Structure 1
Amino acid sequence: MKAAVLYGKEDLRLEEVAVPVAGPGEIVVRVGAALTCGTDLKVYKRGYHAAMGTPPMLFGHEVAGVVTEIGDGVQWFEVGERVVPMNSAPCDECFFCLKGQQNLCEDLLFNNGAYAEYIRIPARIVEKNTLRVPEGVRLDYAALTEPLACVVRGLEESGARAGDSMVVIGAGPIGLMFMHAAELAGVDVIAVVKREDQVEAAKLFGARQVVRIDEAVDVVEAVRALTPAGRGADIVIEAVAVPETWEWAVEMVRKGGVVNFFGGPPTGTVVALDTNRLHYGDITLKASFHHTPATCRTAFELVSSGRFKCAEYITGAVGLGEVPAVFERMMVRGGVGMDIKTAVYPVSRGEAA
């Protein structure tokens, strides 16, 4: 079969590899659709991922498809069923799992290989974190479940409730997903974006007001002016992952509010925060990482319900052979046009319907 294989930093090749075989408890899925992701782009830039694998490695993790083979002992799925397998599953036995923090599992099992004709799903993911896709739900839409599950967990960890005000800094794929999920939850969203093309995207996905950083003399003051009595937002989501926006987030939140540092800067990054404001403002600082089986199911329900704007979120479509070129283009994202997610169809787009 054809598959995208990462050999190192910015070295992604389409190759012929063996079709995977299902071992005990495993399934093999014919890929209907896979989606590009910011995490994949980070791995592409870096050439490896300590937890997800080292090169040469199969690549991609947001996927949905059809079961073509089941291994011994599989009781949950049958050949021909449409499924969306998540990219990880916890052990449910370690310290963190027993504390209800499955996203921090000490033995979190990851899986890659979405940019291929077929993908093998490990037994633990089959058992704990693979979901059936109902008829009427497109496979390319179902593949949005994994990133949305991370966002759902971020919203839950931030305590977002209907009627709250929320600032989302950043209008990349995750920032836009936060805006839309928050809007669907009844949260009033203010977006902070970088470029003109991101303004309409932010509004499309639920932002009531938008602040462009290249138009505001003082971005923090411009945002606070849009909040009730100028006191700041109840919640601020940072989805850019640079020190400046981490610092903005703390200045944009109200007293007693919550900041969620969702964007993860590189190791060793340092920020300067006003400790007086943090202490006397009784501000809660959070950081959310990854997802859990529970938030995967919440996200999947949101996708399968038809409430999430899946069609608008998938802005590009390519065949498997174009994957290396897609990642080359993603390296220079920020030019003309708003590209959110590209769907990769190994066979035909019609199979994702």
Structure 2
Amino acid sequence: MKTKAVRLYGKNDLRLEEFELPPIKDDEILAQIISDSICMSSYKAAIQGEDHKRVPKDVSQNPVIIGHEFCGIILEVGDKWKHKFKPGMKFSIQPALNLKENPYAAPGYSFKYIGGSATHIIIPNEVMEQGCLLEYNGDAFFYGSLSEPMSCIIGAFKANYHTESGKYEHKMGIKEGGNMAILAGVGPMGLGAIDYALHADRKPKRLVVTDIDEARIKRAESLYRAEEARKNGVELIYVNTGTVSDPVKYLLDLTGGEGYDDVFVFAPVKAVVEQADKILAKDGCLNFFAGPTNPNFSAELNFYNVHYNSTHIVGTSGGNTEDMIDALRLMSEGRINPASMITHIGGLDCVVETTLHLPEIPGGKKLIYTNISMELTAISDFRKKGETSPLFAALADIVEKNNGLWCLEAERYLLENADKI
């Protein structure tokens, strides 16, 4: 079977190509990808090429398919896995395989025939052996694509910990009923974190979300309202720290001077990290969620507080399979709706340009439907493009009825009416 896929050959070298997939082995699975969302991690892999930890050193001779936030349909199952998987099943994949022989190997970075930026793939035995091929029972494929980024958020919330004086025991998870801050928190992953904080089983009593982009703050406020948060027992406050003369004092005053039990940093900015450190409460946990591209990135921390106030720091980079299962469950139950992450839609033929210029493109997640041809388009531009395109006019009507968010109806209309790749 032929596939069309975006393959990485080296630094800044991505190519959309058509090539033949080999027949599957008895321990492999053939699948069709329907949707894939582009992650900043794919940009880092594309920029760093063979220097990236997950990318093979011989990638110039053996290119890999990029993309790891994907959802699709199983087409053919090798004999070894016929007892567990069937043709027609929808699936998502946890890319963090954690293989003993190569802990960095992951779909979307390391494999020749599996990655999200493709029409068709071969799922290797390692994925199934690690329990990383997950059945998806939802209707919209894009939710399956968003289960991976949501699993990263869920994993971060679980990775925070707190202690009790005199006991050598870490109590894992955010502090229930505590003060939480999400700094630089209205980007796509920050929005997912707000959603999860408001609707998970364990919630803070107060959630303060900061940023310096007023337009993005307003969008977040329209999606996650303070009134809705109160119904879930959470006081939700948005702060534009760019308009505050003393952000640290302002943020501390919101807690009556107590400080924050859990602080999440969603941008690799020195000043933001140091601000997070300064607002920690006693036994406060700072989670450095943002992944820097600079291996020498550093910031100052107050070690007096580490010693006397038991403040501490953790860093998380991805979730595990359990986290992804949790994400799929919460979405299928309608408890979280990460559609707020998505701001752009495109086809497979826009992946190369989008990935290589991802930091320069404003907005949130860029969702790709891999079997169609379509330039990357902001959802907010659908109406304007609809002046000359019936496709975009119809999509604009659909999303405007859904508070400006991408949805199942829009996905189905796009897949039925867009040009095929």
TM-score category (smaller protein): 0.7 to 0.9
Partner amino acid, structure 2, of 1:251: K
User: Where does residue 195 of structure 1 map in the other structure?
Assistant: 213
Aligned length: 335
User: Where does residue 71 of structure 1 map in the other structure?
Assistant: 78
- The Cα offsets for residues 45-87 of structure 1, whole Å up to 9 and x where unpaired, read as 3334222445432111100000112223113101111111221
User: Where does residue 6 of structure 2 map in the other structure?
Assistant: 4
User: Where does residue 197 of structure 2 map in the other structure?
Assistant: 182
Over aligned residue pairs, what C-alpha RMSD do you find?
A: 2.3
User: Where does residue 271 of structure 1 map in the other structure?
Assistant: 299
Q: How much does 1:329 deviate?
A: 4.6
Contact 2:40/2:358 (8 A) holds in 1: no
CA distance in 2, matches of 1:20, 1:166: 50
CA distance in 2, matches of 1:143, 1:70: 21
Q: How much does 1:328 deviate?
A: 4.6
- The Cα offsets for residues 115-165 of structure 1, whole Å up to 9 and x where unpaired, read as 11012222132240111121x431111111111111111101112244222
Q: Which has the higher contact order (CA 8 A, sep 6+)?
A: 1
User: Where does residue 173 of structure 1 map in the other structure?
Assistant: 188
For residue 273 of structure 2, the aligned residue among 224, 240, 246 is 246
CA distance in 1, matches of 2:280, 2:215: 26
Q: How much does 1:44 deviate?
A: 2.6
User: Where does residue 260 of structure 1 map in the other structure?
Assistant: 287
Partner amino acid, structure 1, of 2:297: T
For residue 134 of structure 2, the aligned residue among 131, 142, 146 is 131
- The Cα offsets for residues 210-253 of structure 1, whole Å up to 9 and x where unpaired, read as 222321222222222222x1221110011112322221111111
Contact 1:51/1:110 (8 A) holds in 2: yes
Please, which runs of 5 or more residues in structure 2 have no aligned partner? 109-114, 161-172, 227-235, 373-410, 417-421
Which stretches of structure 1, 4 residues or longer, exceed 4 Å deviation after superposition?
none
Partner amino acid, structure 1, of 2:290: G
Does residue 1:50 correspond to 2:57, yes or no? Answer: no
Q: How much does 1:344 deviate?
A: 0.9
Partner amino acid, structure 2, of 1:182: A
Please, which runs of 5 or more residues in structure 1 have no aligned partner? 95-104
Tell me: CA distance 1:202–1:45, structure 2 relative to 1, closer, same or farther (3 Å): farther
Task: State the TM-score, normalizing by the size of structure 1.
Answer: 0.87
Percent identity, aligned pairs only, is: 27
CA distance in 2, matches of 1:269, 1:255: 26
Tell me: CA distance 1:205–1:10, structure 2 relative to 1, closer, same or farther (3 Å): farther
Partner amino acid, structure 1, of 2:10: G
Tell me: CA distance 1:271–1:226, structure 2 relative to 1, closer, same or farther (3 Å): same
SS at structure 2 position matched to 1:214: helix
Query: Looking at CA atoms only, which structure, 1 or 2, has the larger radius of gyration?
Result: 2
User: Where does residue 313 of structure 2 map in the other structure?
Assistant: 285
SS at structure 1 position matched to 2:296: coil
CA distance in 1, matches of 2:248, 2:142: 37
For residue 216 of structure 1, the aligned residue among 239, 244, 253 is 244
Q: How much does 1:325 deviate?
A: 2.7
